[in-house]
Structure 1
Amino acid sequence: MAASGPPGVEQQLLVATKIIEQSIDAELERLENLDGDDLDSIRKQRMEALRKRALKKNEWIANGHGEYSELYDEKEFFEASKKSENIVCHFYRDSFLRCKILDKHMEILARKHIETKFCKINAEKAPFLTDRLKIRVLPTLCLLQKGKTRDFVVGFTDLGNIDDFSTEMLEWRIARAAVIEYSGDLLTPPTAGNTRGKQNIKLQKKTIRGGRDSDDTDSD
């Protein structure tokens, strides 16, 4: 008689299914055992969370969230950084094609991530700010949280070094700086089916005050 080997796939699935079922049964039992006061407390907590979210949403809209807006000078940039906790600001120049490409993706993400202010500023009209942030390459995204710079997205290097990157790719890159709410996998870029872009992804964190020169895009 042959010796029995390791459990097969079907048996493993049955075991996993049983564990899941037991977990669900335990949770259902816990909910069933809650008395009226417990349920009322949970309901109140949920309502309070929804109320706070609604108030926050109104505050975001009042501060220009939900649309991709333009900041016309450095004063507006500093005012925005005081009002909005999370900001994604595009430093651009009208004559650069890649800045226009980035604009299209920013418009989409601004509508999707109302929790963050998406804006842009002409680098030529903000020389002090551009120099202070050591921006040497356009386009550059400055990612801020609570008035402090968390990261930069310089050119398209982090987006696969291609002009036809997806909006999801830019969203993932921005999310790595924790300035938007993101439920995906931060360790895996959404580049399925695009091996050319995937091979060129760079996951390392950029140095905030380090050199950000790149030869893959327009340089200022």
Structure 2
Amino acid sequence: MADSSDFKEGAGVIDDELLSIRQRRLEFLKKKREENLRALAEGGGVLKDILESEFFPIVTSKKWVIASFYHHQFSRCSILHDHLTKLAAKYPAITFLKMDVEKCPFLVTKLKIRILPVMLFFKNGINTGRCVGFEEFGNKDDFPTILIEEKMEKEGMIVLDESAVEAATAPKDTSSKTLGSSLHSTTLSSKQSEIQKMREKIMQEEDDDDIFG
């Protein structure tokens, strides 16, 4: 007959699986950081102001591009560019562009640019999304840069670190016997949910192994 030493308690199995998944993801992110360093050495990491004639050659030759269309008299365009300058330095393998609408009338018409500022997202030369004005950022001038990063993640450009994982897997106070069973069940449920989310994230990342390239 099997004894208790032949089995692991449920929480222990979940902890081991979560640790394994997190380790795979850390290795993946390490690889992407190395790719970013190479891109930085090759001249990436800056928000480039380009001419209309440069647009299509750049966009069609890069995997990921964010292009901002601006007018020099619009203050919100300057605010957006402050954020994009920070993001370009943080994600050098992504190409960040800006274009003066007065100097690119063909693109303004072609891409149906009507409201400024506007950001367009491209993958392999195809426009996959856009942000018009600051509506997605709470329509406030002082929005945090992380809101743009969340949009970038939705577009598949980056993978944000999941700080929520730490909170979800943090030890709970089980000093009360009355609440102990309930807390244990809640912790297991939270970890199981987190494992599922991280599995899906890993699958997405490995399906698109050059996510930053």
Q: Indicate which of 152, 159, 176 corresponds to 1:174.
A: 152
The structural deviation recorded for 1:183 is: 3.9
The C-alpha deviation readout for 1:107-145, integer Å capped at 9, x for no partner, is 111111123111211111111111101010110001001
Letter of the 1:58 partner, please give it.
R
Structure of higher RCO (CA pairs closer than 8 Å, 6+ residues apart) = 2
- Fraction of identical pairs, as percent: 31
**What amino acid does structure 1 have at the position aligned with 2:118?**
T
Equivalent residue, structure 2, for 1:133:
111
**Runs of 5+ in structure 1 lacking a partner?**
1-16, 29-45, 186-220
Given that residues 66 and 119 in structure 2 are in contact (C-alpha distance below 8 angstroms), is that contact kept between their aligned partners in structure 1?
Answer: yes
Q: Report the CA distance shift for 1:100/1:20 in structure 2 as closer, same or farther (over 3 A).
A: same
1:20 aligned onto 2:7: no
RMSD of Structure 2 on Structure 1 (CA): 3.1
Aligned partners of 1:154 and 1:111: how far apart in 2?
23
Question: Does 1:65 pair with 2:52?
Answer: no
Taking structure 2 as the reference length, what is the TM-score of the superposition?
0.60
2:39 and 2:92 in contact (8 A); partners too: no
More helix by proportion, 1 or 2? 2
CA change 1:110–1:53 in 2 (3 A) is: closer
d(CA) in 2 for partners of 1:180 and 1:26?
24
The 1-side partners of 2:17 and 2:81 are apart by 50
Aligned amino acid, residue 20 of structure 1 = A
Q: How has the CA–CA distance of structure 1 residues 123 and 27 changed in structure 2, closer, same or farther, with 3 Å as cutoff?
A: closer
Larger Rg: 1
The equivalent residue for 1:78 is 56
Aligned twin of 1:87: 65
Aligned equivalents of 1:108, 1:119: Cα separation in 2 = 13
Report how far residue 162 of structure 1 moved.
1.0
Query: Which residue identity is paired with 1:103?
Result: H
SS of the residue corresponding to residue 104 of structure 1 reads helix
Amino acid at match of 2:47: Y
- Mapped to 2, the partners of 1:166 and 1:55 lie a distance apart of 26
State the alpha-carbon separation in 1 of the partners of residues 140 and 161 from structure 2: 25
Aligned counterparts of 1:129 and 1:84: Cα–Cα separation in 2: 18
Kindly tell me: are residues 54 and 83 of structure 1, through their superposed partners in 2, closer, same or farther at Cα, counting changes over 3 Å? farther
Q: Distance in 2 between matches of 1:65 and 1:109?
A: 11
Q: For 1:148, give the aligned amino acid.
A: I
Q: Give the unaligned 5+ runs of structure 2.
A: 1-7, 20-26, 164-213
TM-score, normalising length: structure 1: 0.58
* 1:1-220 aligned within 5 A: 18-22=9-13, 54=34, 57-59=37-39, 61-62=41-42, 64-71=43-50, 73-184=51-162
1:64-101 CA distances to partner (integer Å, 9 max, x unpaired)? 42111211x12211121133210111100100000011
